[in-house]
Amino acid sequence: MTTRYTRDHEWIRLDGDIATIGISDYAQEQLGDVVFVELPTIGKTFEKGAEAAVVESVKAASEIFAPVAGEVVEINEALEGEPGTVNASPEGDGWFMKLKVANAAEVNELMDADGYEAFLETI
């Protein structure tokens, strides 16, 4: 599974038509210690770019945007009790949600790992 990234520092991995979504290591470093995660409800649908979740840290609250359009089919309920997992494993166990993707072509519009690294160098 290839990981793609957005300019808002979300990552997405597509497995068939199901996309796992979280925030990048860069994003969790900028946030600092995550203390709360607000996840969407299963069955909720999002357009690409819509606010899908909220992550709060000791520094700030940040919106998590849907990198592609789709319907929430699973959320990472473990984050409700252990929000620090986002810091410990942002691109692993700290995932936020899984979406049934409405248009797989939207995934191809996102940056690959090399493109994201190049983007980070411009910040």
For 3-103+110-120, CATH gives: 2.40.50.100
pLDDT digit string (tens) for 24-40?
A: 999 999 999 999 999 99
Q: Is the pLDDT of residue 56 over 80?
A: yes
Per domain, the residue ranges of the chain are 3-103+110-120
pLDDT digit string (tens) for 4-21?
A: 999 999 999 999 999 999
pLDDT digit string (tens) for 79-90?
A: 999 999 999 999
Cα–Cα distance measured from residue 97 to residue 108, given in angstroms and rounded to the nearest whole number: 19
Query: Using 50, 70 and 90 to split pLDDT, how confident is the model at 74?
Result: very high
Helix (H) or strand (E) holding 31: helix 25-31
User: What's the angle, vertex CA 16, arms to CA 11 and CA 17, rounded to 5?
Assistant: 75
pTM: 0.96
Bridge partners, 54 (sequence order): 38, 63
Cα–Cα distance measured from residue 23 to residue 74, given in angstroms and rounded to the nearest whole number: 16
